[in-house]
Amino acid sequence: MKMALFSTKAYDKHFFENENKSYNHELIFYDVHLNKLTAPLAKGVPAVCAFVNDQLDKETLEILAEGGTRVIALRCAGFNNVDLHAAKAAGMTIVRVPAYSPHAVAEHAVALILALNRQIHRAHNRVREGNFALDGLLGFDLYGKTVGVIGTGRIGEVFAHIMQGFGCRVLAYDVFENPDLVSRGVKYANMDTVFAESDILSLHCPLTPETHHLITDETIKRMKHGVMIINTSRGALVNTYALIKHLKSGKVGSVALDVYEEEGDLFFEDLSNKVLQDDIFARLMTFPNVIVTGHQAFFTRNALEKIASTTLNNVAVLERGEKCENEVLPEGHLRK
């Protein structure tokens, strides 16, 4: 099938072209984001491939549908950026890559915890400048600490296992309990208990109307003093204003974010020659106890291979007129 891929980088092209040797789809790569202004580029193209910060709102979907696009192949797990009802009304099928590498994201969350706790980001800079002083680099043993996991799906489960390996007590909240985790000693509790008892809180639930601004002024007040908050899921789970307020007061001890509510204007681009326009993000960057990575948790070779092969296979399955197990249904429920 002919497919236009938006928001692509050289690495996307590399992995998609390599995996496409087994599929022979006709691929057109665009580096621009997909939105209502760029949607006409896909005129006459039956499949469009989009990424996390592409805007698949009603207007964009209608333009794509008018141009003949019938399939939206998301090369990511989350689908919070798609108006599923508008897609259905436009007669489009949405497919995604539900699990490309939960390990990639879970391991990145752990990397952030370790870096933040032992201040690796600061130590690295100090040593390069010949400063070997340890003041300000004091961390804590992870062993014996309580780690709260919000969302124990594919990524949250792997994350919980890794943290158990450090000797942490893992406390979890999810709308569904995972029996495997319970049998391995993870304790489920209500969200308030997880907030109140966690030394480290890591978010692994999807962004939905229910989880929007899960971390806000009110919920932070219910957390332990000095809590470490890790978000590798979606930026809008966290109210950044509240985070800054409580970082300033010391209530929040440290923060690592791989995602940010307004990341669409920043992440995945080299803006090093430009003046940063986002004052909230600029404030976040002033804290010594904050680490931000630019939505790179997924970014492993293994994950990119799986993303490309699953996306190309999703499109091949639909081209053959078969039902795709990775279809996202309008209600947001998944086929499997």
Interface residues with ligand NAI (CB under 6 A)?
A: 77-78, 99, 102, 105, 150-156, 173-176, 204-208, 210-211, 232-234, 258-259, 295, 297-298
136: number of Cβ within 10 Å:
11
Closest distance to ligand NAI from the beta carbon of 44 (Å): 31
Across the beta sheet with 93-95, the strand order is 26-29, 2-5, 47-50, 71-74, 93-95, 327-328
| 314, 335 Cβ separation under 8 angstroms | no
In the DSSP assignment, the letter for residue 206 is P
CB of 102 to ligand NAI, least distance (A): 6
**Closest to ligand NAI by CB, 199 or 258:** 258
Residue 154 annotated to the active site: no
User: What is the nearest approach in angstroms of ligand NAI to the Cβ of residue 321?
Assistant: 27
Cβ-based neighbours of 222, under 8 Å, separated by 6 or more:
192, 195, 196
CB nearer to ligand NAI: pick between 6 and 298: 298
- Yes or no: say if 192 and 163 are a contact pair by the CB < 8 Å rule: no
SS3 label, residue 21: helix
State in angstroms the smallest separation of the CB of 195 from ligand NAI. 12
Min separation Cβ 46 and ligand NAI, Å: 26
Catalytically annotated residue among 96, 108, 234, 246: 234
Distance from C-alpha of 294 to C-alpha of 244, rounded to nearest angstrom: 18
For residue 233, CA distances in Å to 95, 124, 148, 185 come to: 19, 26, 14, 24
- DSSP-derived letter for residue 184 is T
Contact status, residue 81 vs residue 54, Cβ threshold 8 Å = yes
Of 1 and 95, nearer to ligand NAI (C-beta) is: 95
Q: Is 225 a catalytic residue?
A: no
Cβ atoms within 10 A of the Cβ of 233, count? 28
Q: Which is nearer to ligand NAI, 16 or 298 (CB)?
A: 298
Q: Which is nearer to ligand NAI, 46 or 148 (CB)?
A: 148
Catalytic residue among 295, 331, 333, 335: 295
Q: Identify whether 234 is a catalytic site residue.
A: yes
Known catalytic residues are 234, 263, 295
